[in-house]
Amino acid sequence: MIKTLSGTTALVGLAMLAVGAAPAYGETLTSGAIPPALKIDGFTSVNAYFMNQQRRENGKGGPQPHVGVDVSNLFFTILGRSTSGIEYMYRVTMETIPLSGSAIDQNYIQIKSGIGTFQVGDIVGPEDTMIWDAGKIIGGTGGFDGAYNAVYNMSAGVMRGNDIIGDTGNATKLVYYSPELMGWQLGVAYTPSTAHRGDGKLDNTTGKGVRKSPGNRGLYEIEGHQPFDLRNVAIGVTYKKEVGKWNITLSGAGAVAKSYFYNSTTGRVPFQNTKAYQLGFVLGYGDLRFGGGYLNSGNSHLPRTYGFTYGDGTSPVNLSSMNNGNAGHAWNVGAGYTMGVYQFAASYQRTNRNTGDSQKAGSDFYSATVDVTPLQGLKIYTEVDYIRSRTNSKAIDRERSFFANGPDSTKANVGIGNNSGLLGIIGTKISF
């Protein structure tokens, strides 16, 4: 506890020091004070989906298209600057997707000076912001890290997306980004509890409010019944270099934390701690870009014992041999080319996971995108995805139990077996 308090005090002290700090070596801060002023910007994206897949359970069947407002945010930013060039900012991100639940997605304060950038509040950390891989190149909705889960029946137990297990999302945290020095930049974040957001009270026992995405994506399918982290520390680093027409960005990030699970039957139980990392690069030459990445979540958020069972719902869930499996790993590659208002890109992601007793679950994800920007702030895009996912009978039975044990056990959701499908997306995005 003393170590935790000391670390937190040191970070807060650095933030206070930033208010009077001199510019770092090689960095010039703009002079002239600017009083705090409000700026509003944002974007919205509307997509039309056309899907043909083998498995059509869980309402994801039939020939009709699907239309969704999948990503939509308004940013309210109050920004000011001192005479010495120190910037101070307050930002609120309002999620404007109809019926999305929480309207406020992020709320944080930022202070930027010569010794770096400090953030405190509900915001993502360096494990999200500092990764450069094929996900930075692919267009459309994001390919393997995009909106496909709205229509595709992912096989049970398959990890999905491009986040490590233990990713903190928008939990309340302290974040520091160093100035860029000789191409290098460091980011560090401390999240007391990944289950905490906003004005929630201190509760290190139950993890109330924890959600499955992104920190448990593909492991557990009951929102509100998820493992959560205490004292999560995330570190990220990037290196950028330009030589003539060539440029390269190297990146890496990792997270460690104490992980727990709670329900009324078991109380709070230690799970296998978060120990996960991610690496990536993007190489550019003129209008061409190439990228790749790798992530490994180790045993993060898995039970420690065989046959761990909890039973808050109508059908108790036995995690059986999940403890001797893993949380999954993945790699991706991609390439892109820009020609005037057109952007062409393609990517591939492979995921693998041991779901227990050496049984496997995994996926292959191929994407191709064309983005067109005919007017400033207007983008029109087309995305084609071929997805192939594979699993095993134990993972399917486990996911069926998850659904039966969830907050709405009346839903007729079932665990999905092996699946493959071709997905087409046409979308438009307006930003201002």
Beta-carbon-side half-sphere exposure of residue 348 (alpha carbons within 13 Å): 4
Beta carbons within 10 angstroms of residue 240's beta carbon: 16
Higher pLDDT among residues 310 and 125, named by residue = 125
Average pLDDT estimate for 348-370: 97
Say what the pLDDT of residue 408 is: 58
Say what the pLDDT of residue 302 is: 96
Q: What is the pLDDT of residues 131-179, one digit of tens each?
A: 999 999 999 999 999 999 999 999 999 999 999 999 999 999 999 999 9
User: How sure is the predictor about 1, in pLDDT bands with cuts at 50, 70 and 90?
Assistant: very low
User: How sure is the predictor about 102, in pLDDT bands with cuts at 50, 70 and 90?
Assistant: low
Asked if pLDDT for residue 33 goes beyond 80, the answer is: yes
Torsion angles phi and psi, residue 340, rounded to 5: 65, -120
Instruction: Report the distance separating Cα 322 and Cα 306, nearest Å.
Output: 7
Torsion angles phi and psi, residue 334, rounded to 5: -165, 160
Asked if pLDDT for residue 411 goes beyond 70, the answer is: no
First CA to last CA distance, the chain: 45
* Statement: the pTM of the whole predicted model exceeds 0.75: yes
Q: How far is CA 83 from CA 19, 29, 125, 266, 323, in A?
A: 11, 10, 29, 57, 57
Residues paired with residue 357 on neighbouring β-strands, in sequence order: none
Query: Residue 312 burial by CB count (10 A; 0-12/13-18/19+): exposed, middle or buried?
Result: middle
Asked if residues 417 and 155 have their Cβ atoms less than 8 Å apart, the reply is: yes
3-state secondary structure of 187: strand
User: How sure is the predictor about 184, in pLDDT bands with cuts at 50, 70 and 90?
Assistant: very high
Say what the pLDDT of residue 305 is: 93
Q: Torsion angle, CA of 198/200/203/206, rounded to 10 degrees?
A: -90
Asked if pLDDT for residue 13 goes beyond 70, the answer is: no
Closest CA to 23 of 119, 113, 117: 113
Domain range spanning residue 286? 2-431
Say what the pLDDT of residue 340 is: 96
Average pLDDT estimate for 190-202: 93
Asked if pLDDT for residue 257 goes beyond 90, the answer is: yes
Closest CA to 18 of 111, 119, 120, 91: 111
Q: What is residue 19's DSSP assignment?
A: T
Closest CA to 305 of 287, 283, 322: 322
Instruction: Report the distance separating Cα 210 and Cα 213, nearest Å.
Output: 9
Asked if pLDDT for residue 11 goes beyond 70, the answer is: no
Look up the CATH number of the domain holding residue 74. Answer: 2.40.160.10
Q: What is the pLDDT of residues 14-29, one digit of tens each?
A: 444 343 333 333 334 4
Asked if pLDDT for residue 30 goes beyond 80, the answer is: no
Residues paired with residue 246 on neighbouring β-strands, in sequence order: 243, 285
Average pLDDT estimate for 267-274: 94
Q: Which residues contact 142 (CB under 8 A, 6 or more apart)?
A: 135
Q: Render 250-270 in DSSP notation, one character per residue.
A: EEEEEEEEEEEEEETTTEEEE
Average pLDDT estimate for 257-270: 89
Domain count, the chain: 1
User: How sure is the predictor about 409, in pLDDT bands with cuts at 50, 70 and 90?
Assistant: low
Say what the pLDDT of residue 31 is: 53
